[in-house]
Amino acid sequence: MSGFTGYIQLVYVLVAALFVIGLHLMNSPATARRGNQVALTGMVIAVIATLVLLIHDGTVTAAGWTVIIVGSLLGSAVGLWAARTVQMTAMPQLVSAFNSVGGGAAALVAIYGYYEAEARGAVLGTTSVFTVLDVLIGSVTFSGSIIAAGKLQGWIGGQPIIFRGSRLLNVTLAVVAIGTAAFMLTTASLPALFIVVLAALGFGVLMVLPIGGADMPVVISLLNAFTGTAVAMAGFVIGNWALIVAGALVGASGGILTKLMADAMNRSLTNIIMGGFGTGDSVVAVGGAADAHVRSIAADDAAIQLAYASKVIIVPGYGLAAAQAQHGVAELATLLEDRGIEVSYAIHPVAGRMPGHMNVLLAEANVPYPLLKEMEEINPEFGRADVALVIGANDVTNPAARRPGNEISGMPILDVDQARSIIVVKRSMGHGYAGLENELYFDPKTSMYFADAKKAMAQLTAAVKTLVA
């Protein structure tokens, strides 16, 4: 390592340290913004150092500078536009899109590395393992994330898409991709590179297509881990520590979130990748529930329960986000708080379409973050709650999960049934993703308020106002 390059590498070490410090500051909402700024500082330093390296190197042609500068400016503009305009409900799509371009860029770095080495007739060294891995993982992430984003955006049906022979085709693609990749290691061959890229892209598509909407939090986390790994591999290819460290950090983060999400649904990763759950065609009747009585409630009665409670726990689910009712919920909660009622929110880990999604939606509706409680924290409190108000959440409140022998057995749930009374806001008696009857609805303590979440919040708020006026 020559003197100058050595100094630049030292700068990259600083950059890696800034990334770690930035992520460390994300451990509390109070310091998280600073964390993001620290990480951004690291990124700016990395880009400047690389520019210095390129200028010092002096081999970049005018055309080379043009493509890099124009590409970066265009990319920045698109990224900034997307970040500024995205709705908070559409955050999972955006994160997926960023996973996609990140993985794609990492794959391109390796593709170029291989192409350039082949053109020079260079002997492929040990780094070629990483080049090949980068091409594989990066391509799978690129196409898989596009499909995930398309599903979340509604461009592609959210239902699992499985056609005849799709699994066989998927296995074939995997075998072709890995087999050809192994061949690439021993022989420099551009056609082989081409086949690997195509097969990996196809595999990414077929991997995500059969996965249902409710499993998206796991898929996004997994693809996030993939992108990180691809970037780390790109770091090996070009021998850059900043890329290796950043990629490893992202890989660790994505891996942890994948595990948390899968655990929160009590499902194994294999099970999710294989699809099947969330198809809604596997309805299992839970003993005696079908003929039990469901009590529905009017806005006035619900308002009385809420207005004269001393502790209310709100349980938001994806239905709330889908109905854009988060602002309405916040308004109702504020009204209750103004009466001196203790209000908190019980957030299940998979409420929403990506890890932590519900918290962002409620934060946008100006709900202070100390009121947002994680499952472990809020569960012991349900026993002291006068009213649990369930809005658009289903499977995560089903007490059937505590018993063995059904679709959701063993899944961690919110102990909503421990509350003194329960009001469930729901459009109909439809099933959740598990295709299971929710026993909570047949509990004598439960009243059903049948309405769209947004309308329901407006009606309940109006009723409470009338009551207390």
Partner 1 sequence: MSTALLTDLTIFILALLVGIEVIGKVPATLHTPLMSATNAIHGIVLVGAMLIGVSAHNVVGYVLAFVASFFASANVVGGYAVTGRMLKMFRRKAPEQSAPEQNPALNGHKGLRGMLSRAGKVQP
Structure token digits, residue 416? 């909503």
- For residue 120, how many other CB atoms are within 10 A of its CB? 9
CB-count exposure of residue 144 (10 Å: 0-12, 13-18, 19+): buried
Choice from 2, 3, 6, 30 touching partner 1 (CB under 8 A)? 30
Least separation in angstroms between residue 260's CB and partner 1 is 8
The answer to whether 102 contacts partner 1 (rule: CB under 8 A) is yes
Least separation in angstroms between residue 177's CB and partner 1 is 20
- Number of DSSP helices (H) and strands (E) in the chain, helices first: 16, 6
The answer to whether 242 contacts partner 1 (rule: CB under 8 A) is yes
| Residue number, 22 or 278, with CB nearest to partner 1 | 22
Look up 395 and say whether it is catalytic: yes
CA distance 30 to 242: 27
Least separation in angstroms between residue 362's CB and partner 1 is 9
Q: Which stretch binds partner 1 (CB under 8 A): 122-130, 154-162, 179-187, 205-213?
A: 122-130
Assign 451 to helix, strand or coil: coil
Q: What is the DSSP string of 277-325?
A: TTSS---B--TTTTTS---B--HHHHHHHHHT-SEEEEEE-HHHHHTT-
The answer to whether 29 contacts partner 1 (rule: CB under 8 A) is yes
| Residue number, 53 or 169, with CB nearest to partner 1 | 53
Q: Which stretch binds partner 1 (CB under 8 A): 91-99, 169-177, 178-186, 279-287?
A: 91-99
**CA-CA distances (angstroms) from residue 305 to 338, 453, 460?**
16, 18, 11
Least separation in angstroms between residue 182's CB and partner 1 is 19
CA distance 38 to 50: 19
Least separation in angstroms between residue 268's CB and partner 1 is 20
| Cβ-contact 295, 447 below 8 angstroms | yes
| Cβ-contact 424, 302 below 8 angstroms | no
The answer to whether 240 contacts partner 1 (rule: CB under 8 A) is yes
Residues 302-361 close enough to bind partner 1 by CB under 8 A: 324, 327, 330-331, 334-335, 337-338, 340, 342, 347, 349, 354-357, 359-360
Longest dimension (CA), the chain: 84
- What backbone phi and psi angles, to 5 degrees, belong to 422? -130, 130
The amino acid occupying position 66 is T
The answer to whether 2 contacts partner 1 (rule: CB under 8 A) is no
- Tokens 């090949």 correspond to 132
CA distance 80 to 126: 38
Helix (H) or strand (E) holding 383: none
The answer to whether 297 contacts partner 1 (rule: CB under 8 A) is no
- Tokens 């407006």 correspond to 458
Choice from 4, 10, 27, 300 touching partner 1 (CB under 8 A)? 27
* Per-residue mark of binding to partner 1, 146-175 (x: CB under 8 A): ------------------------------
Least separation in angstroms between residue 19's CB and partner 1 is 5
| Residue number, 106 or 456, with CB nearest to partner 1 | 106
Choice from 135, 346, 367, 436 touching partner 1 (CB under 8 A)? 367
How far is C-alpha 140 from the chain's CA centre?
17
CA distance 99 to 108: 14
The answer to whether 364 contacts partner 1 (rule: CB under 8 A) is yes
Choice from 177, 245, 309, 425 touching partner 1 (CB under 8 A)? 245
How far is C-alpha 434 from the chain's CA centre?
19
Structure token digits, residue 276? 């099947």
**CB under 8 Å to 193, separation ≥6 — which residues?**
111, 114, 115, 118, 135, 184
Q: Which stretch binds partner 1 (CB under 8 A): 10-18, 172-180, 266-274, 397-405?
A: 10-18
| Residue number, 7 or 115, with CB nearest to partner 1 | 115
| Residue number, 110 or 448, with CB nearest to partner 1 | 110
Least separation in angstroms between residue 87's CB and partner 1 is 8
The answer to whether 392 contacts partner 1 (rule: CB under 8 A) is no
| Residue number, 139 or 446, with CB nearest to partner 1 | 139
Choice from 181, 195, 249, 440 touching partner 1 (CB under 8 A)? 249
The answer to whether 216 contacts partner 1 (rule: CB under 8 A) is no
* Active-site position among 215, 300, 338, 395: 395
| Residue number, 24 or 295, with CB nearest to partner 1 | 24
Structure token digits, residue 253? 């983060």
* Per-residue mark of binding to partner 1, 38-77 (x: CB under 8 A): -xx--x--xx--xx-xx--x-xxx-xxx-xx-xxxxxxx-
The catalytic site residues sit at 395
